[in-house]
Structure 1
Amino acid sequence: MKEDNRNLLLAITLSVVVLLGWQYFYGVPQAEKQKQIAQQNQQAQSTPLPGQAVPAPGTAPGQPASAPGTAAPAALTAETREQALARSPRIRIETPKIQGSISLTGARIDDVSLKAYRETVSADSPNIVLLSPLGGPNPYYSDFGWVAGPGSNVALPNATTLWTADAQILRPGTPLTLSHDNGQGLIFKRVITIDDNAMFTIRDDVENRSGAPVTLFPYGQVVRQGKPPTLGYYVLHEGMIGNLGEQGLQEYTYDHVDKEPLLAPGTHGKVWKDAVGGFVGITDKYWAAAVVPDQARKYEGRYSSVQTGSQRTYQADFLAEPVTIAAGASGGVQARLFAGAKEVAAIDGYEKTLGIKRFELLIDWGWFYFITKPMFYVMDWIYKHVGNFGIAILVVTLLLKGLFFPLASKSYASMAKMKAVQPEMMAIRERYADDKMKQQQALMELYKTQKINPIAGCWPVLLQIPVFFALYKILFVTIEMRHAPFFGWIRDLAAPDPTSIFNLFGLLPFAVPAFLLIGAWPILMGITMFVQMKMNPEPPDPVQKMMFTWMPVFFTFLLGSFPAGLVIYWTWNNLLSILQQGYIMRKHGAKIELFDNLKGMFGKKPAVAAAVPAPGKPANSNKK
């Protein structure tokens, strides 16, 4: 029995350690940190910040450089976002999902806001701003262009080039054509189209009237000045992201890029050569900007950072293989830019319809990808029929309970048998009270005869852990769960329950610190966990008994800062387990110990079945 106790304690301890580690590394009260980030973003929109120049350009294809583009503009003066936008003539962008503008100076896509998403759950909260122009707060933009070969002095469009446009607005189904004549016989044309979501298609063509062939290297890049506020959770990747052909997924945090070797004076970064297919970009928790090269051409992908004044500038770019345009001919390439919310249906749709290699990895599905993504699909399908992600979580939990019912049935059946032979177990302990070795051997023989697995009850809990992590990941990273309401006071399933028992759930007029946010749902979870544990016989070992008694309290505080959707799942799962366990125990004739255990807690000891006496020893031998 000692070995069985050790195994049981080990299983419980490992479960607690995993959840504690998860909470320590990933579940630090995110509501407080997200609130701070939202405040910083709001302040950034209203407070002017010093504008910075973009990093120095690359000198030649294939050589380490800060950017594959051309000459950088001079440093700009401090401006508000509105002032920075007004500095250049612009073409308006309007789609069902995004709005913004393209700067005709440099042909930059540097103004994108997300129509469907706001900073908070409030209906009058500002829309999320994704891309912003140079000179204003938090510059973040994308551009495309050409780099000349080594030793070439051909004049190419750069950051200060003023392009001409054939329209005043870019809409789905209405392309925009930009033009520039370099005065040396090269006519540059850029046709930009956009779909109903957030995918730009950029077709760059060059007409060569110079009388001599010209070789150019196409590039695309996403540039971000200053390190943005991040949540800093290990479970969530924020920073550079890309799938670079056969070299696969490459995720680098901002700090990681800063620590990479020098590519050029002042420029740190990493380069991947000869990639085919994929994308490179910069991702936040819920949105991203990523450039997509021609999926059939080789390219060089790169993440880099360079110090610009008091800030660092980060960028992800590609430099594709050269295009040679003969005299009197035209040539060009096509690339794409995604700048929007990481909606699962849209991201998966682009991978399928546009053939972007592993574009789905723009969403961080995590280690349990094989569980997380299918679970999301099921949950999303249910949501489309019931209209509430909280209800979808309840239905998925019910389906999982049905899936694991055979295993749970065996587990509870084993526990019921354990209860049935408890008098014999007590007799064995009395009979071999002074010989632990024989006691253990006798107990093991009893388990073998009765076909009992003493740790079978742990399996349902252990199997819940990967499901728990997968659901946590869904709630944490999928934008579909962001600001998704349930009922009552739960207005965001991805945020912790906002109530707290320490101010009587809002009845007392004072705010509660984040670490004391023990809301109504975590308390309900603790109660259901307590009831579930009390349905079983009390463990004979005092240490086990203490652990089982205090575990619901421990988990109540632990899950208080977890997303409300996860706590709702755990509570509902416990309730279903109680019903399931009660049914199976009655089916096998095992007594449900709930009420006796509750009586024992309040000083009324339940009647204990008489122990089976040892052979040759009368049942009343202890009486004087």
Structure 2
Amino acid sequence: MQDDSSRNTIIFLVCALALFIVYQMFVLEPAQKRKAAELKAHPPAAAAQLLPGAPALNAPPAVTRAAALAASPRVPLAAPALKGSISLRGGRLDDLFLTQYKQTTDKNSPPVEMLRPEGTPFPWFIDFGWVGQNVPGLPGATTPWTLAQGSTLAPGAPITLTYANGQGLTFTRQIAVDDHYMFTLTDTVANAGAIPVTLAPYGTVQRQGVPADVGKTGVVHEGTIGYLDSHVRAFTYKDLSKNGGSTQEFNSASAWTGITDRYWLAALIPDAGEQVHAVYRDAKAGNLDVYEANYTGAARTIAPGAQVTVTQHLFAGAKTVPLLQSYEKTLGIAHFDDAVDWGRFFFFLTRPIFLFLTFIYQHVGTFGVAILLLTVCVRVAFFPIANKQYESMTKMKKVQPLMEDLRKRYKDDPAKQQQEIMALYQREKVNPLAGCLPILLQIPVFYSLYKVLNISIEMRHAPFLAFSDLSARDPTTIWNLFGLIPWNPAHTPLIGQILDTSLHLGILPLAYGFTMFLTTSMSPPAGDPAQQRIFQFMPLMFMFIMAPFAVGLLIYWTWSNVLTTLQQYVMMRRFKVDNPIDRALARLSGKGSG
């Protein structure tokens, strides 16, 4: 019977692995190739400008970035952390690069592209303006603004744009930028007409389609986000695309709203006392998803000969927590550091863990070392609890032979077998459930560590040992002996894609699999032979599952396994329980029995 169970378990696991590989090879990978080919042949079309409440319209096919920039006069932007330009057509911020971050780890890599002009593939841009009923000539997406003051936008050197609508209204916009990523826009409307007009300010962040690698992770939020109605309001791109495009509306003061990626954020920040109506939506344009976060402020009535001024802010840059917190204090932006995805349930753990990790990083200067030290600190904090867990597991393993003997002796009498096993637990002072509670207590902390490493921009492109980017997967692979053979397995005919995806095993996944094998080998075996086979295969299965994860995460998991194994080993030596490490050392020294 046990042999049948073992055989069935092995057959099940082999079939499951085969199905996974077949599905990856013949379903997922061809679908990805088709999608990439479609995007290459038919870049997503741009949509027309969407003011609050306006319908989406189809637009001409996408053009190159250079052509889109050349379509309108521009004012250059040069700041320590930013470069780009502002379009005088619409007064739009749609050309922005983050100069302190590169697209890849290559030393000649261009900087990260934050915003892209409309008309290019996947445009991402920001507009500010005014709306009003029955007021002609309000500035919009095609309005020709005039540069009235300044030549290049830079810290301490604002620019001023003007526009007259020919109906007695003159619009003046001063744009300033600081040393980081915060813009200040001061809009003034002067009414030289004969009748009063009523206008409301608005701001909008729009993203027309997203690249294939954006919005796919279930760990870090990507999509619309803001602090509205005294809550953090976040919707993924998938949420907004449901049912042909959805709309979420909020009324709020002390608000901000925008669109975020894993590391980058474009956020609109009205004046702290401004009452706004905020909207998140996917205003589809044909087959194109047009994601938008916008707000409309309170209406102002401007009498003849009077003027009104509204000050708004815009953040467009990297989500570094200290910077977000500094803006939160100096500008009074409520909950601005919640633009970082701390998690819905364990934020009370992720925040202090992140702060402690960055504290270590600031003192050691290497993020990889900071991960190792943080893992040690967490293990030390949980040492008493983990010790109880491993003590219980060690005692369970010690009585395992006696339990097996009882199972054989009373195999035809399950009730008597259970009675004798319980009596054995009492004699040996073993509690089989004692190892479960410590595990349950540690799960939230270790998940929070996993979350922190995913949201930490400090890990992006951080080098450690032979790895150039802790946020990327292990670039090495067993198929070319970790780079010793000058050959790229991905270029192998027929199976190259599989070797580069499903079967891509670097040195870190192998190390993780080995350390997981050690920890499971030191645990008491399951009573059921089929379960034993499953636990034996788990390190192999998890080695493949974890292989695509970031290097920093694999370092954390592997190092955590090493510390776990060490603690288990000490406990097993203390209770004089046989363990795989001592057996291996005995064989190496020639003292083993076989």
Q: TM-score range by the shorter chain?
A: 0.7 to 0.9
Q: Match of 1:88?
A: 72
Report the CA distance between 1:401 and its aligned residue.
0.7
Q: Match of 1:397?
A: 375
Matched, 1:54 2:48: yes
Deviation digits for residues 567-624 of structure 1 (CA, Å, limit 9, x no counterpart)? 211211121122222323334x33342257659999x9999xxxxxxxxxxxxxxxxx
Q: Match of 1:560?
A: 547
How does 1:366-405 map onto structure 2 within 5 Å? 366-367=343-344, 368-405=346-383
**Equivalents in 1 of 2:556, 2:332: separation in Å?**
36
Q: Match of 1:549?
A: 536
**Equivalents in 2 of 1:89, 1:156: separation in Å?**
20
**Equivalents in 2 of 1:342, 1:280: separation in Å?**
14
Does the 8 Å CA contact 1:66/1:305 hold for their aligned counterparts? no
Does the 8 Å CA contact 1:596/1:606 hold for their aligned counterparts? no
Does the 8 Å CA contact 1:54/1:313 hold for their aligned counterparts? no
Q: Match of 2:186?
A: 203
AA aligned to 2:102 is R
1:161 aligns with one of 144, 155, 175: 144
Does the 8 Å CA contact 1:536/1:592 hold for their aligned counterparts? no
How does 1:166-177 map onto structure 2 within 5 Å? 166-177=149-160
Give the 3 Å change call, closer, same or farther, for CA 48–117 of structure 1 in structure 2: farther
Q: Match of 2:476?
A: 499
The Cα RMSD (Å) is: 3.7
Does the 8 Å CA contact 1:534/1:597 hold for their aligned counterparts? no
Matched, 1:238 2:222: yes
1:251 aligns with one of 217, 235, 239: 235
How does 1:413-452 map onto structure 2 within 5 Å? 413-421=391-399, 425=403, 428-429=406-407, 432=410, 434-452=412-430
Give the 3 Å change call, closer, same or farther, for CA 76–107 of structure 1 in structure 2: farther
Matched, 1:117 2:111: no
Give the 3 Å change call, closer, same or farther, for CA 471–415 of structure 1 in structure 2: closer
AA aligned to 1:96 is P
Deviation digits for residues 145-199 of structure 1 (CA, Å, limit 9, x no counterpart)? 1111x3x334322232322330011112222222223333333221211121111
Q: TM-score, normalised on structure 2? A: 0.83
Matched, 1:332 2:321: no
Q: Match of 2:270?
A: 293
AA aligned to 1:594 is P
Matched, 1:107 2:91: yes
**Larger Rg over CA atoms:** 1
My pick for the range that moved more, 208-217 or 465-474, is: 465-474
Q: Match of 2:577?
A: 591
Matched, 1:184 2:161: no
Does the 8 Å CA contact 2:46/2:121 hold for their aligned counterparts? no
Does the 8 Å CA contact 1:376/1:474 hold for their aligned counterparts? yes
Unaligned runs of 5+ in 2: 1-12, 490-498
**Equivalents in 1 of 2:529, 2:161: separation in Å?**
78
Give the 3 Å change call, closer, same or farther, for CA 534–75 of structure 1 in structure 2: closer
**Equivalents in 2 of 1:475, 1:529: separation in Å?**
20
Matched, 1:128 2:112: yes
Deviation digits for residues 307-349 of structure 1 (CA, Å, limit 9, x no counterpart)? 5466443322101111122333321212121111222222233
Matched, 1:145 2:125: no
Does the 8 Å CA contact 2:46/2:120 hold for their aligned counterparts? no
Report the CA distance between 1:496 and its aligned residue.
1.8
Q: Match of 2:6?
A: none
Q: Secondary structure at the match of 2:257?
A: strand
Matched, 1:522 2:509: yes
Give the 3 Å change call, closer, same or farther, for CA 516–327 of structure 1 in structure 2: same
Q: Match of 2:54?
A: 65
Percent of paired sites with the same residue: 44
Does the 8 Å CA contact 2:171/2:188 hold for their aligned counterparts? yes
Q: Secondary structure at the match of 1:578?
A: helix
**Equivalents in 2 of 1:396, 1:575: separation in Å?**
14
**Equivalents in 2 of 1:252, 1:328: separation in Å?**
46
Does the 8 Å CA contact 2:170/2:190 hold for their aligned counterparts? yes
AA aligned to 1:579 is L
Unaligned runs of 5+ in 1: 1-15, 59-63, 262-267, 608-624
Does the 8 Å CA contact 1:167/1:177 hold for their aligned counterparts? yes
**Equivalents in 2 of 1:327, 1:213: separation in Å?**
5
Q: Match of 2:455?
A: 477
Report the CA distance between 1:534 and its aligned residue.
3.2
Deviation digits for residues 104-163 of structure 1 (CA, Å, limit 9, x no counterpart)? 221111110111222221111222212122344433211111111x3x334322232322
**Equivalents in 2 of 1:140, 1:537: separation in Å?**
55
Report the CA distance between 1:394 and its aligned residue.
0.6
Does the 8 Å CA contact 1:538/1:597 hold for their aligned counterparts? no
Q: Match of 1:4?
A: none
Q: Match of 1:219?
A: 202
Does the 8 Å CA contact 1:502/1:516 hold for their aligned counterparts? no
Q: Match of 1:321?
A: 298
Give the 3 Å change call, closer, same or farther, for CA 558–230 of structure 1 in structure 2: closer
Give the 3 Å change call, closer, same or farther, for CA 102–56 of structure 1 in structure 2: closer
My pick for the range that moved more, 134-143 or 494-503, is: 134-143
AA aligned to 1:492 is D
Q: TM-score, normalised on structure 1? A: 0.79
**Equivalents in 1 of 2:566, 2:205: separation in Å?**
54
Give the 3 Å change call, closer, same or farther, for CA 535–229 of structure 1 in structure 2: closer
Give the 3 Å change call, closer, same or farther, for CA 460–505 of structure 1 in structure 2: farther
**Equivalents in 1 of 2:524, 2:67: separation in Å?**
71
Report the CA distance between 1:100 and its aligned residue.
0.7
Report the CA distance between 1:433 and its aligned residue.
5.1
Deviation digits for residues 351-370 of structure 1 (CA, Å, limit 9, x no counterpart)? 33322233223222334323
Aligned residue-pair number = 555
**Equivalents in 2 of 1:496, 1:259: separation in Å?**
31
Q: Secondary structure at the match of 1:377?
A: helix
Does the 8 Å CA contact 1:536/1:593 hold for their aligned counterparts? no
Q: Secondary structure at the match of 1:169?
A: coil
Report the CA distance between 1:96 and its aligned residue.
1.5
Q: Secondary structure at the match of 1:122?
A: coil
Give the 3 Å change call, closer, same or farther, for CA 555–79 of structure 1 in structure 2: closer
Q: Secondary structure at the match of 1:470?
A: helix
Give the 3 Å change call, closer, same or farther, for CA 536–110 of structure 1 in structure 2: closer
Report the CA distance between 1:549 and its aligned residue.
2.7
Does the 8 Å CA contact 1:105/1:163 hold for their aligned counterparts? no
**Equivalents in 2 of 1:385, 1:247: separation in Å?**
35
Q: Secondary structure at the match of 1:233?
A: coil
Report the CA distance between 1:559 and its aligned residue.
1.6
Q: Match of 1:356?
A: 333
Does the 8 Å CA contact 2:96/2:115 hold for their aligned counterparts? yes
**Equivalents in 2 of 1:139, 1:133: separation in Å?**
5
Does the 8 Å CA contact 1:417/1:590 hold for their aligned counterparts? no
